[in-house]
Structure 1
Amino acid sequence: MIHSSFDGSVKNDGKTNKIVESNLFDHSLFKFNPDMVIFLNMNGNIVHINHGFVKALGYTLQEIILTPFERFFPSSEIAHYQKLFTQATAGEVLCAHMTLLQKNGETCSVSLNMIPAKFHDQIMGIFVTAKDNTNLIKTEKMLAECELKFSSIVDEALTGVYIVNENGKVTYGNKAFYNILGIENHHSTINFRDYVHPEDIPHLNDVSNSLTHAEKGLTHSFRMHRKDGAVIYVESHAQIITLQHKPHIVGTLQDITERKKIEELHEYFADHDYLTELPFVNVLDLLSLH
């Protein structure tokens, strides 16, 4: 096996040579490394691998050793790999996102690092580490698909939808949400609390505290200021969710100003005469005079 250091700092003294020539180097870099590790000679052939490489690709050791590393890349990426290998043999440390071919015909996406292995300032080969990102990429695609589905449904919804972080910053708001607040730029960075009526801030704080301990969402109403200064009544159904390991509030928002006016009008005429607008007590007093 060829021994080397990553920085070319191998010194020609007995102590250093004993460390380099011991199994400590092989075990730490190859045997105990959770990622794939490969050592290539200057012709690009594989001369040493760890178990991670065998396990990830499904080939036997005999099928891998002394074969060109480029055979494990799809044809569309071979030219790119060859360019990287040439640069690495010239002394460059490189990192790239590549695809490796498995024996069963499947592929795995990897983060590839190529590091020149030097001995007495001479490049003897290339160390390659490859981290399998296949599951991560699949998860990212699933999240992207979920986000696309969420956006396609929510963006055009007639009800306002918003997500607020623990500092009150709106991290997401659909068109209806911004329209309710009279904000033309639907990508504006705003703080939700800045648009809440000052007298209703304590109520909002109480709701936030209740949501922290609630198993279900809560529906509540309060007043907000539109961008033009008009005061509106809104109703929100909100609940706590966790995004990036931090609590957020996701909720719906409806402008209930007109409904609130009708309710107040009904309450008023529940105690007042419709024609005279006098309280019912006074109307009865007038009738008693006759």
Structure 2
Amino acid sequence: MLFNRYAEEKLFRVLLFVSIIITLSSLFAILFHIISHGIGVISWKFITEYPVDMGKSGGIFPAIVGTFYIIIVSITVAAPIGILAAVYLTEYTRRNSRLVQLIRFATETLAGIPSIVFGLFGFAFLVIYLQLSWSILSGSLTLACMILPTIIRTSEEAIKAVPYQYREGSLALGATKWQTVSRIVLPAALPGIVTGIILSIGRVVGETAAVLLTAGSSLNLPGSIFDPVRTLSIHLYLLTFDGISFPMAYGTATILIILILLINTLANLIMRRMSTVRNG
């Protein structure tokens, strides 16, 4: 009996190790394939010049700028709403109330809606009905709706993880409910909240269908949030789907991967800095 338990434990250790190897191998295989084909295309001109002949040559500078526009506007809209909604759900309502269950059901349903449906909604409501046209604003508002469930759920779990003694100590010292939440709970939950925002940025960067229907695919450099724009993911999709240039597509994909890695690295450094300052 004891031998069987040791054998079972060893078997599961082997299965876990194999799962890790398969996951890492898949990741590195994808990265190696894309980067090995795209690294030769990347240069300073590729990053700073405008595309020529629908992207067959030139650079991807407008797509890089458009991607940052979309990220900044969508996160600016979604993050405050998502964090405040999480605060309301965890701090100002009973956890098993019907209102909380209804809001959670709505957020889970919103998270399960395909991106193309968000794109159709954004195109019909924002682009046509509100007459915002294809623009950064239309695309960002559509993406804000898409990433809202992620920010709400991750922020909610991060706030729940804060020990209840923090709240009791703050209230015992005479602080109000909002002072406790804003000065004690939210700073303690900040790493988890930032993690949710990072995940949302990753979805914004990689989204194609919803952005194509709402933000357009203009190759021009946007002058304001009311101008159409082409993101890196849309540029990559059009280069590949239309067969314009596979080398340029690999170069764009490599820049996209590097951008995501830089965003994640910067966010991790910020979180560690915040944790060090708070604990120090």
Q: Output the TM-score relative to the length of structure 2.
A: 0.19
Structure with greater proportional strand content: 1
- Higher-RCO chain (CA-CA 8 Å, sequence separation at least 6): 2
TM-score after normalising by structure 1: 0.19
Higher Cα Rg, which structure = 1
